[in-house]
Structure 1
Amino acid sequence: MSEPKTLPPSLRGWAQRHVSEIVTARDASQSRPKSQVWELRNTAGARHVIKVSPSAAFYRRETFAYRHAAIDFERAQFAPLVKDFVILAATAWLEAPILERAFFHGYGRQLTSEEKHVPQCLIVLDAVSCLAWGPSHRDDEVTARGRRTLTG
């Protein structure tokens, strides 16, 4: 395990400009020499995580999904955590399986065996929802996603 690192003053200043005054900063790095991750809490008690990429190449790789994926927040709702993976599994991960591996690498763990069953069941409900909503709203993309999911 590497020695805990102190949040550098320049990074603390940047963080305070973006998340308000920082009350605590905890080293949350993995036990790799160049890992630089901190968990911050601000005066409101909100938790933020800052990760410093060691190089521009790492930054591009780690932010690839933010630049190339779109999540439909219009249909978001309170639900089990794994339900969020359903739309990804029915879209981006089908088209580029490397994104699924990268996602779970960044997520920090694989799904448990129990959690793996939930998206498989919910993806069918999502497909039916797509087929009900898509045609009535003339959304060909959503309709096609529903058909693609059910027909394989």
Structure 2
Amino acid sequence: MGFSISNAALRLVSGAFILNAGIGKRNLPAEHAAGLQEAAQRVIPQAGQLAPETFGKYLSYSEIGLGAFVLAPFVPSRLAGLALAGFSGALVAAYLKTPGMTEADKIRPTPAGTAMAKDFWLAGIAVALIFNRKKAAPAE
């Protein structure tokens, strides 16, 4: 489990972003939590069974936990990438399933969907962390 500057950069930018988002949701107003919950239940229907305030707290705790996990240097990069892939996959699915977020081609964002479309970069980082292979040392 050697140190890689490229993996450290990917983990720093994505982990800090997610951690900050979770911290920002700690005191989420019920109306905002309900809006996020509506988007989440398009991907995970069970999310609709929670009270909006409870959903908001769980979302905040989850993002704080994931951000810290991705940032933790003792967590292998491949494992951090797998966790990030699950999270970013849910975000991308919410973007694709939310009406009005995409153009007629169902992929390019509308002006309203641009903020959600940025979650594709997290999916790209996850893939890079999962599939980054170190080159074997040359045989002597």
Query: TM-score category by the smaller chain?
Result: under 0.3
More strand by share: 1
Larger Rg: 1
